[in-house]
Structure 1
């Protein structure tokens, strides 16, 4: 068995966190489009950052709780982690 190279480790981590950050980017984009007036003071980058961070924490929590990624409950935790910061930032305005 070949040892894991640094590039392989980076790509493995990037692929683990990619769904959370992709969903966060889409949610931030659609939230800014749909609620243009309500989210006018919130920058897109702030919505993306907090959503991506929450989704990453949700994916990590699923990995710890379930033992591996790729389960539906894990994706549910990731979506919850992405959407809660978006909701909080929308209410905070």
Structure 2
């Protein structure tokens, strides 16, 4: 595998995590406007994407392959917990 192929493989591995982080942060900003008024969108999206990427790597190590439904479910759970921590628990 050449370096360009490796780049595309890594990009496709972490793209679902980045997309989930972006969409979940946007939905959080839309649904909880009062609670997220002082938070920038990227301050929600980046930690959420990092948490989802960590779950992706953990799922890859645990199952030996990526793209398992259990890994995607764990990514959604990690994104929800990260946003909950950033929006509701961090302010107190």
Q: Is TM (by shorter chain) over 0.5?
A: yes
Residue matched to 2:66: 69
Alignment of 1:1-80 (within 5 A): 4-80=1-77
Q: Any idea what SS the aligned residue of 2:39 has?
A: coil
Q: Any idea what SS the aligned residue of 1:39 has?
A: coil
CA drift of 1:81 comes to 2.1
**4+ aligned runs moved over 6 Å, structure 1:** none
Count of residue correspondences = 90
Preserved contact between residue 50 and residue 85 of structure 1 (Cα < 8 Å): yes
Residue matched to 2:87: 90
Post-superposition CA distance 1:35-77 (Å, at most 9, x none): 1111111110110100000000011111111111111111112
**Where do 5+ consecutive residues of structure 2 fail to align?**
none
Q: Any idea what SS the aligned residue of 1:90 has?
A: helix
CA drift of 1:27 comes to 0.6
TM score, norm. by length of structure 2: 0.92
Preserved contact between residue 24 and residue 48 of structure 1 (Cα < 8 Å): yes
CA drift of 1:90 comes to 1.1
Q: CA RMSD in A?
A: 0.9
Q: Any idea what SS the aligned residue of 1:32 has?
A: helix
